[in-house]
Structures are given as structure tokens and as C-alpha cells.
Amino acid sequence: MEYFVIVISAIFVSNIVLTQFLGVCPFLGVSTRISTSVGMGGAVLFVMTLATMTTWIFQYYVLNPFGLGFMQTIVFILVIAALVQMVEIILKKVSPALYQALGVFLPLITTNCAVLGVAILTIQKQFNLMESVVFAMSTAIGFTMALVIFAGIREHLEMMEVPKGMRGVPIALVTAGILALAFMGFTGMVR
Amino acid sequence: MIELMNYNSHILTLINRRTMSQIKNFTKGFLKENPVFVLLLGMCPTLGTTTSALNGLGMGLATAFVLTMSNMVISLVKNQIPDKVRIPSFIVIIASFVTIVELIMQAYVPALFEQLGLFIPLIVVNCIVLGRAEAFASKNTVWSSVLDGLGMGLGFAFALTILGSVRELLGSGAIFGFHFIKGDLMLVFVLAPGAFIALGYIIALINKINKTA
């Protein structure tokens, strides 16, 4: 039951992009086609779950026992950067097909604030390892969902006649705002 | 004689051009190359922390500090860092300054630190900071890197304060806590959707200004 609450709240109620404003850069950057946004979503799902697991272990087995809590930011970003690099190398060797699909997005993920954000959030929320993994996965699913919906809208938007000054980024931001308005409907569903 | 005069004027224009370009290093961050409104970098803190003008300003100044200091240190050590490990080294330098800011803010402005929350440690992954380190500080002198960092950082703070003021005014009728309008207002502007919508319209406006200027 508790896991169910975590999943629902991470995907809908406090959607990472539309209510927490994490990962807005890729949300605006790679959301012009549905196919690319699915690829990006897959890469984020993969990296976010792995990164959260690794940083959780680092926090509770390295930082806390030695009283190095203040090093959290430095350690986490290094772990994530190293992890992304490692995933890229391993994926290239083990599964070239998957690498073809996700490869382009991997370097972008190091600077995706959603990954570091979720890693820090799980520590702040004092989740245990299993809860952290579930939280990370459902957050990534929420991210992918927002991205795909937004890409779908933007594909249609391209064929619309938008006032000249609003073309491009401004209309995309206003659209995202309306999408966020829709997600506000979920507020209060959990707790 | 004429040659000497020519030489003199040549030197003068060179000096002039140098000071001009130094000034430009500083001022370009405000409108022409504003990191938020024009380059569209650092969107997450821009949207996430601008619920009021004060929060926006606080976040902007914290980022400006990190940007200036990391630009300075990176341009100082740029020749010592091997090319292959340059990005990880930059990240470590940036993360150190972020930790410094985190600890200082926690000690002296705990209320603001609480409000900004997650976004302070997330300065590490702000594309502006790493972007300036890679594009400017790793190629230029210390002094122009500091000016560049300061200009870009203050441009970022400027953008966040503008967005924060607009949202605070439309949402609760105040700027920096001073009330201007009484009565029911559009609360949605303080909430998440308002951030996207307000920023969209401000960017359209800035595009218009930059095009006519």
C-alpha cells in the first residue's frame, strides 16, 4: 500500500516536471518529437534508478558513518557523472541496439537536474533502499509521461498559426503552463 | 612624426577596445545574452524559485556568487588541468563553491535557505555555470572571466527578480512584500502553472525588445 502511494504521488500528484520544476531543460529541449521524447524518457528511467540506488548506498554506508554529510552535493554529482560514463561504456559493449536508442541522450543526463534532485530528495524523505528505487522509477515514469504528452501537443502546435511574437519558446512555455494547470487537478489526492 | 602619431592612436584604440570589451563582458549578460530570457539556460531554478521577488533575488545572487568564484578559479588553473579530465575537474570546483554557499546560507539566512530548498544544491547542475566555465573561463584571462561570471550571474539574478516580481504582483499584489493591490488576485501565478505562463510572455516581450534595439 505504501509503495502504491509513493508511485501515485510521484507520477501524478507531485509530477517532477510540472509541479517541482526539475528537468525542465530536457522537457523544453527534446520534446519536439514523440519518438525522441520516448528515447529520452527511457534513458532517464535507466540512469535515475541506478543513480538513486548508488547514491543511497553512498549516503548510508560512506557519508553518514564518517560524518561527511556536508560533502553530499560533491559526492552525489561525481557519482552520477561517473555512473553515466560507465553506463555509456557498458551499454556500447553489451547491447549496441539499446545504445543506439539511448546513446545520444546519455551525456545530456549528467546535467539533468532531475537525477541529482531525486537522489537528494530520497535522502530528505528518509526512504529506505526499496522505497528509494520505487520512488526513482515512478518519478522517471512521470517525467516520461509529461514529456510525451508535451511532445504530442507540440507536434500539433507546429501546424497551428501562432501569433508571430509568440512562436517557438514563448508558446511552448504557455502550453506547459496549461499542462501544469491540468496536473493541479491531482492535488490533494494523496494526503 | 606621422608614423608615431599613427602608432599612438593605434595604441589608444587598442586600449579603448580592450576596456570596451571588458565592459561588454560585464554588460552582455543583462539583455543581449541574458542567460534566462535569451539563451534559455537554467530553467529549473528560474521557474522553481521565483514565487516572490525576494526568493528570485536570493537564488540569483547565490548563483552569481558560485558563477563568479568558479569562473575565477577555473581560469586560474586552466593550464594545469589535462584536457581529458577537464569537465569532471570543473564540476568538482563548482560543487565546492556550491557547498560553501549552502553552508553560509544555512547559517545566516535559514528562512531563505528553507524556501529555496533543493534548488541550492542543484546550482551544481545549472547549465549556466558549467557552460560559462567551458565556453569562457577555460579560454580567457582571470580578470575577464571574473567580469563575465559577475555579469552573467547578475543577469541571471536580474531575470529571476523580474520574473519573481511579476509573479508576486499578479499573484498576491505585492513586490518584495510591499502591497500595491488589495483584493482577490490571480493566485495561480504564485503556483506552478503561473511560472510557465509568466515566463513565456516575458520571453516574447524580451524578444521584441532585442529585435527593435
- Chain A with chain B: Cβ pairs closer than 8 A: 114
pTM of the model: 0.86
Distance from CA of B146 to the nearest CA of A (A): 23
| Interface residues of chain A, partner chain B, Cβ below 8 Å | 18-25, 28, 70-74, 77-78, 81, 110-113, 116-117, 120-121, 124, 165-166, 169-174, 176-178, 180-181, 183-184
ipTM of the complex: 0.86
- The predicted model gives A147-172 an average pLDDT of 88
pLDDT digit string, tens, across residues B55-77: 999 999 999 999 999 999 999 99
Using pLDDT thresholds of 50, 70 and 90, give the confidence band for residue B8. Answer: low
Average pLDDT, chain B: 86
Q: Identify the pLDDT of residue B13.
A: 64
Q: What is the pLDDT of residues B99-156, one digit of tens each?
A: 999 999 999 999 999 988 889 999 988 888 888 888 888 888 999 999 999 999 999 9
pLDDT tens by residue, A42-80 = 888 988 999 999 999 999 999 989 888 888 989 999 898
Q: What are phi and psi of B175, to 5 degrees?
A: -130, 130
Contact B192 A77 (CB under 8 A): no
- pLDDT of B39: 81
Identify the pLDDT of residue B94: 93
Q: Which of A25-39, A59-73, B80-94 has the lowest mean pLDDT?
A: A25-39
What's the rounded Cα separation, in Å, for the pair B94 and A78? Answer: 11
